[in-house]
């Protein structure tokens, strides 16, 4: 409702103010209690409402667009207080003066002898008790709606800025990840080409598919999991070409249905396993990758053997720091990332709880 009100206010600023004051006038007319000899005085009603509402409108804009900014934004407390007292007196005295000298004569109400100009402008208690609360009650209501709409608009802008900031940070994280991956892959292809390996052309083709995915299919915050699986298969095949039969990779999937996932999330885990597992194990490295989707949960389990001279902290610094940042931005409070290390096995377990709207149909 507030979003619609804010949108309407932006598009029809003047009209929104007119509608508000027309509503106030309708309330006044429907609840008017002035009577003349037990008969409703329409003339007095029209006059009183038009004059009194005019003073209220002026007081509302005076309070909202002058006093409040001076007091709260500019921090001119003394000046704002003095202006408020002077303005309050002027509005209350003017309202009483117009009522007695214009409104009541037009409506045929005889002037009371004791209501002299001196009494009108000096009877402060009556100005406050009768006129202040009637005038500034509507002014404070007007101010309340104005602040409420402004606060809602400010929150909306803050959310938009936060979203833009998150998207910018994600793009920066991706630019950090992609060159790192390309550097390793190009080194692999270079190694194959030096030895005139027939697998060079296949490696270039797979790299082309990977670049196509990164450049043209990862622009959004989320992509279908099936495309990420194809990306992983190409990446794994590229790495297997490099290590030949020395490397054993087990990649299993159990996907009940295709869902959306943040791009390159799983790849960063797998890439870390290859770099710090197979890349540092001069023996026969093993990498196990399991990817499952059940209910609204994505579970990724990646384990790799290593030479035994690494630590969890060192591994995290290389590839998993960016992953943690991406997860905090994309899945705040809906993910868990567990990292464990034994004598020669490094394991990363990622569990993501998906919202219904994140599902891919």
Q: Per residue of the chain (361 residues), what is the pLDDT tens digit?
A: 666 766 777 777 788 888 888 887 777 666 555 444 444 454 445 555 666 678 888 999 999 999 998 998 888 999 999 999 999 999 999 988 888 887 777 766 777 778 888 888 999 888 888 889 888 988 899 899 888 888 877 887 777 777 777 676 666 656 555 566 677 778 878 888 888 888 888 889 988 998 888 777 777 778 899 999 999 999 898 878 777 677 899 999 999 889 999 888 898 898 888 877 776 656 788 999 999 998 889 999 999 988 765 555 554 555 677 788 888 888 888 999 999 888 788 899 999 998 764 443 3
Same domain, 100 and 210: no
Structural domain count of the chain: 2
Quote the CA–CA distance of 68 and 58 in Å, as a whole number. 14
Same domain, 16 and 129: yes
Please name the residue that has the structure tokens 């190009």: 186
| Terminal alpha carbon distance of the chain | 29
> Which positions ≥6 away from 131 have C-beta within 8 Å?
91, 92, 95, 96
H helical segments located in 278-351: 312-315, 321-330
Give the C-alpha distances (Å, rounded to integers) separating 144 from 16, 59, 136, 192. 15, 14, 12, 71
Same domain, 137 and 231: no
Q: Which of 58, 132, 60, 46 is nearest to 93 (CA)?
A: 132
Last residue of a domain, one of 158, 190, 208: 158
Last residue of a domain, one of 136, 158, 180: 158
Model pTM? 0.54
Same domain, 205 and 353: yes
Same domain, 124 and 206: no
Residue 192 lies in a domain: no
- Domain containing residue 327: 198-358
Last residue of a domain, one of 141, 158, 175: 158
Residue 45 lies in a domain: yes
Same domain, 351 and 220: yes
Is residue 285 within 8 Å of residue 304, measured between CB atoms? Answer: yes
Residue 170 lies in a domain: no
Residue 63 lies in a domain: yes
């Amino acid at each position: 409702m507030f979003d619609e009100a804010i949108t309407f206010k932006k598009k029809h600023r003047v009209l929104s103010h007119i509608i508000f004051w027309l509503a106030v006038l309708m309330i006044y007319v429907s609840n008017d209690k002035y009577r003349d000899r037990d008969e409703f005085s329409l003339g007095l009603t029209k006059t009183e409402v038009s004059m009194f509402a005019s003073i209220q409108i002026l007081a509302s804009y005076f309070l909202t667009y002058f006093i409040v900014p001076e007091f709260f934004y500019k921090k001119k407390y003394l000046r704002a207080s003095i202006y408020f007292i002077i303005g309050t007196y002027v509005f209350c005295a003017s309202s009483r003066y117009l009522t007695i000298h214009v409104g009541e004569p037009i409506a045929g109400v005889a002037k009371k002898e004791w209501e002299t100009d001196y009494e009108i402008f000096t009877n402060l208690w009556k100005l406050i008790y009768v006129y202040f609360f009637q005038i500034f009650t509507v002014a404070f209501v007007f101010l309340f709606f104005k602040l409420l709409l402004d606060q809602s608009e400010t929150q909306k802008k803050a959310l938009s800025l936060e979203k833009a900031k998150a998207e910018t940070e994600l793009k920066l994280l991706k630019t950090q990840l992609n060159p790192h991956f390309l550097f390793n892959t190009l080194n692999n292809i270079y190694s194959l080409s030096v030895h005139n390996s027939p697998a060079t052309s296949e490696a270039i083709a797979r790299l082309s598919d990977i670049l196509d995915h990164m450049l043209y299919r990862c622009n959004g915050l989320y992509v279908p999991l099936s495309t990420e699986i194809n990306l992983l298969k190409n990446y794994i095949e590229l790495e297997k070409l490099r290590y030949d039969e020395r490397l054993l990779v087990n990649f299993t999937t159990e996907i009940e249905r295709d869902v959306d996932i943040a791009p390159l999330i799983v790849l960063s885990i797998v890439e870390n396993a290859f770099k710090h597992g197979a890349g540092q194990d001069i023996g026969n490295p093993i990498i196990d990758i399991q990817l499952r989707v059940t209910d609204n949960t994505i579970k990724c389990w990646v384990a790799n053997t290593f030479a035994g001279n690494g630590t969890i902290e060192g591994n995290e610094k290389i590839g998993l720091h960016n992953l943690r940042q991406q997860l905090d931005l994309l899945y705040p409070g809906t993910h868990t990332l567990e990292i464990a290390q034994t004598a020669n096995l490094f394991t990363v377990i990622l569990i993501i709880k998906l919202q219904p709207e994140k599902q891919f149909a």
